[in-house]
Amino acid sequence: MADIQLKRSHALGLKGAKEAADKMADKLGKQFNLSGDWEGNTLHFDRPGVNGTLAITDKDMKLEVTLGFLLKAMKGPIERAVNEQLDSVLSAAAKATPAKAAEPKKAAAKTTPATKSKAAPAAKAKPKTATGGKKKSA
């Protein structure tokens, strides 16, 4: 049975969740000297004293980690670090997803007022008459 089991729901879709999982795996890999390989939608990772899986779907992530005898004493700090990384990566990915969708709207909103302000002075200009603006006396 796994010593650490975490599950998080997300709205990133499968591709976004896999990208977030890769970022988390990179950070935790450097911190705990882990290496892993993807097999379908499951990341298998290990190092002496630690092995586990991170399974992703389009709606959630499930992490299971088994610690060796010596690392069981460090379960608390390891679990806190993994929780923090998972929450951080999912939060950053969730913030990035809506921002990308809103970028075209922001660009369109910026050009609309600029176009109106340039058109306004041209509309206020007085029309010129054929006589140069002077009235003819009759």
Per residue in 102-126, pLDDT tens? 444 444 444 444 444 444 444 444 5
- pLDDT confidence of residue 80: 92
For residue 133, tell me if it sits in a domain: no
The parent domain of residue 65 ranges over 4-99
For residue 14, tell me if it sits in a domain: yes
Nearest to 44 by CA among 58, 60, 27, 29: 29
For residue 109, tell me if it sits in a domain: no
Q: How far apart are CA 54 and CA 65, in angstroms?
A: 9
**Could you tell me the strand order of the sheet in which 60-67 lies?**
4-9, 60-67, 50-56, 42-47, 35-39
Mean pLDDT (whole number) for 93-110: 54
For residue 37, tell me if it sits in a domain: yes
Structurally, how many domains does the chain consist of? Answer: 1
Would you give the DSSP letter of residue 104? Answer: H
The residues that bridge with 60 in the sheet, in sequence order, are: 9
CATH number for the domain that contains residue 74: 3.30.310.80
For residue 8, tell me if it sits in a domain: yes
